[in-house]
Amino acid sequence: MLQFVDDTLIMCEDSFSNVIAIKAILRCFEISSGLKINFHKFKLACIDVERNSLECYAKTLNCTLMRIPFIYLGLEPRNKQLWEPILNKISARLSAWRERFLSLTRIICILKSVFTVLPLFYFSFYNKASTSVCNEIISIQRRFLWASGKDHTSISWIS
């Protein structure tokens, strides 16, 4: 289960008993909190589930179906503008290490920490970024690795 602001994402395996359990959990939440779940906004998305089962699950949960990939909070995963803040943060974070005399091991450690932490939020919603975004991230990474963060170009000894 993942929660973000007022949204909840529940993940489970494909079985009718799990759907019943989710319905029971939602009902218990309504009873204990006094809040009402808005099933008009409730959506069901499944991966590798037969269409018949999917429709049965949606009918049981009294919700609508949604296609994958989906747009969450208005964010389009393939839109490069969505990834611009992350690319800018990566560049800014690495620029703090420019012109420092670091060993190759330290540079690789910095690269791994920066490139692991920053895109996590976006990758928690989308398992893919566009090819141009991935290429841009790789380009920033290579420039920092081989030029030690300097603005001038350097030879990439390995791809």
pLDDT, residue 149, reads 47
Residue 58: CB atoms within 10 Å: 18
Cα distances (angstroms) measured from residue 141 to each of 9, 19, 31, 116, 137: 32, 43, 51, 12, 6
pLDDT, residue 24, reads 92
- Output the six-digit token pair for 112: 């791994």
Domain ranges for the chain: 2-65, 80-147
pTM of the model: 0.45
The string of pLDDT tens digits covering residues 14-67 is 889 999 998 998 899 899 999 888 877 888 888 778 888 888 998 998 888 887
Mean pLDDT, residues 89-98 taken together: 75
Assess contact for 147 and 154: CB atoms under 8 A: yes
Q: In a 3-state reduction of DSSP, which class is residue 75?
A: strand
Q: Which residue has the higher pLDDT, 81 or 49?
A: 49
Q: In a 3-state reduction of DSSP, which class is residue 66?
A: coil
Rounded to a whole number of angstroms, the distance between the first and last alpha carbons of the chain is 39
Quick one: pLDDT band at residue 142, thresholds 50, 70, 90? Answer: confident
Token match 């007022």: residue?
A: 6
Asked whether the predicted pLDDT for residue 154 surpasses 70, the reply is: no
pLDDT, residue 108, reads 79
